[in-house]
Structure 1
Amino acid sequence: MPEFASDIEIARAARKKPIQEIGARLGIPPEHLLPYGHDKAKVGQEFIAGLKDRPDGHLVLVTAINPTPAGEGKTTTTVGLGDGLAALGKNVAICIREASLGPCFGMKGGAAGGGHAQVVPMEDMNLHFTGDFHAITSAHNLLAAMLDNHVYWGNALDIDVRRVALRRVMDMNDRALRGIVTSLGGVANGFPRESGFDITVASEVMAILCLATDLSDLERRLGDIIVAWRRDRTPVYARDLKAEGAMTVLLKDAMQPNLVQTLENTPAFVHGGPFANIAHGCNSVMATTTALKLADFVVTEAGFGADLGAEKFFDIKCRKAGLKPAAAVVVATVRALKMNGGVAKADLGAENVDAVRAGCANLERHLNNVGRFGVPAVVAINHFTGDTEAEIAAVTDHVSQLGAKAVVCRHWADGSSGITDLASEVVALAEAGSADFTPLYPDEMPLFEKIETVAKKIYHAGDVTADAKVLNQLKEWEAQGYGHLPVCMAKTQYSFTTDPNHRGAPEGHVVPVREVRLSAGAGFVVAICGDIMTMPGLPSVPSAESIRLNDAGEVEGLF
């Protein structure tokens, strides 16, 4: 291996064990594994159903400060922490999300960790993996096709074609499909209407798969999807189109969690992948609850910063699945804190303790926010070689003044041996039993008040604005019995505000809610804020330009 190996070179050099051995570490018999090659498998639902009476292990959430171009390493820390706990002799499993093709070919790169803290097979995870996303895309678009077909053949449900809520999806960044007109070309092609595409990870079907507890719950939730509205404003559901059965058939295998391993052969469940800026950003409930029955410690992550990912993990996933986190880790880097303190990316190499101290305001906000939910937290300083002792001390001192602890982690370079200090701190927090998890708001709070609560308590906004159309829509849903649902905030991940360029810890800003969407099957109301898009676009130089097969038939440029 080269002295300065890339992530993909490190992953290729991994000494993977047969997936049956990884399953055996968690007590999964080989007959309950559906292998996808030698190094990945799905866990059978019959086996999972038999675990329900077992006690749960400790659930540990890994979250982070707001992401910056400098990098934070949340997934890398999640994987490293799992390996670190295993190195301490703990029975541990990791739970992370699957990667979307859109970001992989756009700008983000891999989603399996990095350096010597990775989940493998890395290339498979970042490409087609076990086909789950394709199944979700197909199930969603089957529903869309059945909706248009119903209208074409007489519209017995009296669907108002001006009020069709369902868009189509694909797992790629393609801004040209955000707004389209369908059914052009004459009578044989149906009735023309405006529509559009979302990325698959924003699909309600994705959210449903990640929140469903079994196949029957999946089918019920799919049937609850609101696809359109009649002229009398009553909803039309997927079950009215008799679509939920066929959709469940398409999702039968995708519903089963995927089991893989880390570079150090720690078991890892990689299942589901809703975005955290436009969806709830957590791996599947089925994977997490299965892992909790099989392991003493389960390390999972929530997408992007704690303002989006952790809030949704607590207020949506934990609320719906009855999960009680034992501890949390907030990941930060000195580089990212300097950017939050006003330093440009090009100048990050120079020591700047004052900028680190200024940037700690962002870290402090996230740490305090996690505390609002009653979950004890520790800060992981994901180490970069350019970090100076004075800069690291500025972070540890600031966190200490907040009554918490910051631990320097070198898992990217050293694997589990570089993160055992953090692992020991997590064990101490979890086993102390001091967590008193409480969601941010009660179910009975009105929908707009829930939006205001998140914006003001988590984002520290001064006000939330929405036009009469949005407010009336929320009241209408409350009258129809959906007022008890949690809210899923869709906003930029780069800032507490809706301006992606406003870093640090701003206060008193305005959060504009431009649109709300009811995800009745998933069980939440989406509030779309600012300019956030549910179909991303590719950057001016997409990473796809650098991805190719080399002469040996290996993938190059993926990460």
Structure 2
Amino acid sequence: MTGIEEFTSQYGLVRKIDAFGYLDYLKSNPDAPRKHGKVVLVTADTPLKASRGEGKTTTTIALIDALNARGIDAAAVLRQPSMGITAAGSKGGASGGGKASLTHPELIDWGLTGEMAAIAAAQNLLVSFAEKAVDEGRIDTILVPRVSEVPSRSLRQITVDSGKNNVAERVVLTPTCEMMQIVVVSRSMEEIGERVAAMIAGTKDGKPVAFGEFIDLWRITNMLADAVKPALTETLNGSPVYVHGGPFANVSLGIPTLVSVQMACALHDVVIVEAGYGADAGAQKWLDIACREYGAQWPSAAVVVTRASTWRDDPALSWRYPFHVQRLENYDIPTFPLINLWEGEDDQIEGLKAVAVEQRFREPILGNLFRDGGEALAPQLDGFIEALTNAPMAPQFHSRKGMDLVENVKWIAKSAYGVPEDRILLKDGFIDSLTAARELCREAGVSLDDLAVVAVKSPATMTDDDTKPEEERTVTLKKVEVHAGAGVVHVNLTTSLTTPMPKIV
């Protein structure tokens, strides 16, 4: 009997799974053994500092260890971090910490599971083809950036002397690039090829030119043969963890690959999916892009992680955590607050529980997960398991394809950041950027309003100024950038960089 083992191969110290092949096998063999796992979304409070997370990965690892200890078949799907910006894991990557860690964290934190390097090589080869196309007179501008895993401030904007004229280029971090987005949303190699072909290489006399018009796509897709396979590793306690995809949620999709989650749901009863940064970033994109636009499974429950200090210590920002929890509850997703304690905060537990009661949260889950791992969570999961077991049916939500782009962003601002449409501001130059993007799409035969909206924003703030009173908070729209191959359009809101520098630790 064919099983997942037939689609699994060794890759260094981890294993790689041909998720495309396995899911095709299940589709062709409906009677083959499979599970129908429920998705749990782990997201977080908006961190006080972008360089310090709230502990989503540590929570995710502790949670699957705790569920497995309770006799529930649980696995996690994590994103690959960016090696450079996480300083190779020294500030916390995608591997947890302490007792809530993976067996080989360096493989994840240093990008040694392979897909990040292959995706970078593929996109950089595309840019090289674009540069050659400039030499040959096929295009006169290049719209696709080069990528790097190691940030460089000097490469954020560069000019290349092509010998005939100067061509503006730029460099972004690998997780933020369009090739990464294509791998994240695609469900077959054929789809990847179609999407790469639709990527807009640049323009010629103002008209868009797609890569499919002048290169053989097999040169790119063959480079991704191993990159499209999720890596299988495990926690220190032996719980399975799949790692695949790595976009930042502040400037990209912020979610693991859709096929890795779909595959995990066929293999396990509960699948914990971690989305990047806070609920205003990763959770918003899982719900509004992965689920609404790409058919990913709606969460049966959610966990919103915070630090005690983030939740309480700045009164001007204390509204954000309750907002996140209630927003997910408003979608009929049973949502549990989880407070990830620092060392020395155990004496605050009763006070934190009292504040949770005042906020009318579900019973909070608290613990020092770095120190205690899943052992801290297992005794506290009765309410969580009951809610997960009795989770409501997934809602019949509607795609927002075809909605006017600005109206779509206003909808996101209201639902995800709590800012009504009459306080959406347009920065000077936004209309020009929008008009140019709409014309580019029209010439390429794409409807701008059919693309999924990626809100590009600061990871540490939800609005232009989160410290202002509710009635004064605004969101400013700044510019528009089309990723036609990935099927998304970026709309810049608050300040954010696609090549941030790492924190020195």
TM-score calculated relative to the size of structure 1: 0.81
2:494 matched residue in structure 1: 530
Please state if 1:468 is matched with 2:434: no
From 46, 58, 62, the counterpart of 1:66: 46
Distance of aligned partners of 1:440 and 1:514 in 2 relative to their CA distance in 1, 3 Å threshold:
farther
Please give the residue correspondences for 1:102-181 in structure 2 after superposition, counting only pairs within 5 Å: 102-105=84-87, 108-155=91-138, 159-161=139-141, 164-181=142-159
Q: Gaps (5+ residues) in structure 1?
A: 1-25, 343-358, 544-559
| 1:120 counterpart SS class | coil
CA contact (8 A) 1:360 1:395 kept: no
Q: Do the aligned partners of 1:139 and 1:250 also contact (CA within 8 Å) in 2?
A: yes
Counterpart pick for 1:279 among 252, 255, 265: 252
Question: In structure 2, do the counterparts of structure 1 residues 334 and 154 end up closer, same or farther at CA, with 3 Å as the change threshold?
Answer: closer
- Bigger drift between 504-513 and 63-72 goes to 504-513
Which residue of structure 2 aligns with residue 92 of structure 1? 74
Secondary structure in structure 2 of the residue aligned to 1:34? strand
**AA aligned opposite 1:219:** G
Question: How far 1:154 sits from its partner (Å)?
Answer: 3.5
Q: Say if 2:244 is the partner of 1:239.
A: no
Kindly state the Cα deviation for residue 397 of structure 1 after the two structures are TM-superposed.
3.9
Evaluate the alpha carbon distance shift between residue 102 and residue 93 of structure 1 in structure 2; reply closer, same or farther with a 3 A threshold: same
User: What does residue 521 of structure 1 align with?
Assistant: 485
The CA RMSD over aligned residues, in Å, is: 2.5
Letter paired with 1:82:
I
Rounded to whole Å, the distance in 1 between the matches of 2:251 and 2:475 is: 15
1:370 is the counterpart of 2:306:
no
Contact 2:337–2:361, Cα closer than 8 Å, also in 1: no
Gaps of 5+ in 2: none
Kindly indicate whether the alpha-carbon contact (under 8 Å) linking 1:71 and 1:336 is maintained by their aligned counterparts in 2: no
Counting only pairs closer than 5 Å after superposition, residues 180-195 of structure 1 correspond to structure 2 as 180-183=158-161, 187=163, 191-195=165-169
Answering whether residue 295 of structure 2 is matched by residue 321 of structure 1, we say: yes
Aligned to 2:417: 459
Q: 2:449 aligns with which of 467, 478, 483?
A: 483
Note closer, same or farther for the CA distance 1:239–1:507 as it changes in structure 2 (3 Å cut). Answer: farther
Answer with 370-379 or 503-512: which moved more.
503-512
Helix, strand or coil at the partner of 1:137 = helix
1:84 and 1:507 map into 2 onto residues whose CA distance is 42
Tell me the distance in 2 between the aligned counterparts of 1:392 and 1:485.
47
SS in 1 for 2:485: coil
Matched, 1:268 2:248: no
Given the alignment of the two structures, is residue 207 of structure 1 paired with residue 181 of structure 2, yes or no? Answer: yes
CA distance in 2, matches of 1:505, 1:33: 53
| 1:290 equivalenced with 2:263 (yes/no) | yes
SS, match of residue 102 in structure 1: coil
**Quick one: which of 355, 361, 366 aligns to 1:408?**
366
| Distance in 2, Cα, partners of 1:270 & 1:240 | 34
- Residue 193 (structure 2) aligns with: 219
Matches within 5 A, 1:26-41: 28-29=4-5, 31-37=6-12, 39-41=13-15
Q: Distance in 2 between matches of 1:178 and 1:263?
A: 39
* Counterpart residue identity of residue 159, structure 2: V
Q: 1:268 to 1:388 in 2, by over 3 A?
A: closer
Distance in 1 (CA, whole Å) between partners of 2:403 and 2:147 is 32
> Contact 1:334/1:391 (CA < 8 Å) preserved in 2?
no
In structure 1, the partner of 2:58 is: 76
Maintained 8 Å contact 1:495/1:503: no
In 2, Cα distance between equivalents of 1:60 and 1:275: 20
Does the 8 A contact of 2:86 with 2:502 survive in 1? Answer: no
The Cα offsets for residues 457-497 of structure 1, whole Å up to 9 and x where unpaired, read as 32123223143213323543675423122210111111112
Instruction: Tell me the distance in 2 between the aligned counterparts of 1:302 and 1:124.
Output: 20
**TM-score when normalising by structure 2:** 0.89
Q: Indicate the SS of the match to 1:269.
A: strand
> How far did residue 152 of structure 1 move?
0.9
Quick one: which of 21, 24, 29 aligns to 1:49? 24
Bigger mean CA offset, 288-297 vs 238-247: 238-247
When the two structures are aligned, how many residues end up with a matched partner? 486
Q: Which amino acid aligns with 1:471?
A: L
Question: For 2:282, what is the secondary structure of its paired residue?
Answer: helix
Task: Note the alpha carbon deviations across 1:327-361, whole angstroms, 9 max, x for none.
Answer: 1111112122234336xxxxxxxxxxxxxxxx542
For 1:238-295, what per-residue CA distance to the aligned partner results, in whole angstroms no more than 9, with x for missing partners? Answer: 2112253211111111001100000110010011100111101011111111000000
1:251 is aligned to 224
Residues 259/210 of structure 1: CA separation in 2 closer, same or farther (3 Å cut): same
Q: Secondary structure at the match of 1:495?
A: coil
* Cα pair 2:43 2:282 within 8 Å, conserved: yes
Q: Are the counterparts in 2 of residues 280 and 312 from structure 1 also a CA contact under 8 Å?
A: yes
Q: Taking structure 1 as reference, are residues 392 and 463 closer, same or farther at Cα in structure 2, changes over 3 Å only?
A: farther
How far did 1:416 drift? 1.9
Q: Contact 2:434 / 2:480 at 8 angstroms: preserved in 1?
A: no
2:281 to 298, 308, 315: 308
- Structure 2: how far apart are the matches of 1:504 and 1:87? 44
Contact 2:183 2:257 survives alignment (8 Å): yes
What residue is the counterpart of 1:553 in the other structure?
none
